[in-house]
Amino acid sequence: MLVNSVVIFRETLEALTSVLFPAPCQICDSVLTNASLLPICNGCLASLAPFKGPCCATCGRPFLSEIATDAAVPLCFACRRSTYGFDSARSYGEYNDRMSRAIGLLKYERLTRLGGWFAARLEEKIRAEPELFAADVAVPVPLHPARQRERGYNQAELIARPLARKLKLPLGAYLLVRTKPRPPRLLLSRRERWQTVRGAYEIRKGTRVDNLRVLLIDDVFTTGATLDACARALKQAGAKSVAGITVARVLSRGSAFSGRPAELSKNQTSVGSI
């Protein structure tokens, strides 16, 4: 009884304290002075900036120089080699330090309201190029069931659910399944990223995607291997088109080519083969 009273007292005190002394910005630790629904200061929100300027017409990779955009349909090196299985992809902004902290809040702290904020940004991106994103269903990139059980939720779905609502699309969170788990190591090389997702996604048994135009949603575009593997699974099952959208994109400035390693390109229809 006494223990219960102590717990209740402590919870009440914490609730009061959080009103009187709100938690600092979850990204930079500065005191929050704005009355926002997000525990992120205005400066940090402003630094989660959208890409501006020319990009690859297919995968959305921003061009760092104007020279690359001379062609009528500007394509990056990877897309000139038809690397990806999706028809098009775009990302909201760069995966920099603050963006990585923000995505971490979504991924590990289940900050649902941030999912809504990102969804609003992605909606703007989609409305700017509606022809790329004509879709019948919105599908979040799934986690492996073991990972989802452990985490309790899928961060891509925290973005996809409010985005589907804004776009008035049905949410097809059940359509794709990840059948191959991600290796436990946190950091993977570019080659490993491609290898670990190859054939890692399937259409859920008993569902159909024939002739559907799919909008795939994920948090980060690193090498494009994940969106590629999902798109190949969807297309093999008859999807008409697949457009991907992610909140952030990793820009590999050191390497001009972030696409599928050459030795993996030979078997372009390898979905489900592992």
Q: Return residues touching Zn ion (CB under 5 A).
A: 25, 27-28, 41, 44, 56, 58-59, 61, 76, 79
Q: What are phi and psi of 256, to 5 degrees?
A: -75, -20
Least separation in angstroms between CB 171 and Zn ion:
27
For Zn ion, the closer of residues 56 and 122 by Cβ is 56
For Zn ion, the closer of residues 75 and 167 by Cβ is 75
For Zn ion, the closer of residues 105 and 160 by Cβ is 105
Q: Please compute, for residue 116, the number of CA atoms within 13 A of its CA located in the half-sphere on the CB side.
A: 5
| Residue 8: how many other CB atoms lie within 10 Å | 10
> What is the Cα–Cα distance from 132 to 29, expressed in whole angstroms?
38
For Zn ion, the closer of residues 32 and 177 by Cβ is 32
Check: CB of residue 206 under 8 Å from CB of residue 240: no
Least separation in angstroms between CB 132 and Zn ion:
13
> What is the Cα–Cα distance from 271 to 273, expressed in whole angstroms?
6
For Zn ion, the closer of residues 114 and 173 by Cβ is 114
For Zn ion, the closer of residues 56 and 139 by Cβ is 56
Q: Are strands 176-178 and 201-203 parallel, antiparallel or unpaired?
A: antiparallel
> What is the Cα–Cα distance from 24 to 21, expressed in whole angstroms?
9
| Nearest to 90, CA basis, from 241, 246, 259 | 246
> What is the Cα–Cα distance from 217 to 244, expressed in whole angstroms?
6
SS3 88: strand
SS3 77: helix
For Zn ion, the closer of residues 76 and 217 by Cβ is 76
Which residue blocks in 145-212 are alpha helix, DSSP H? 145-151, 155-167, 190-197
Least separation in angstroms between CB 205 and Zn ion:
33
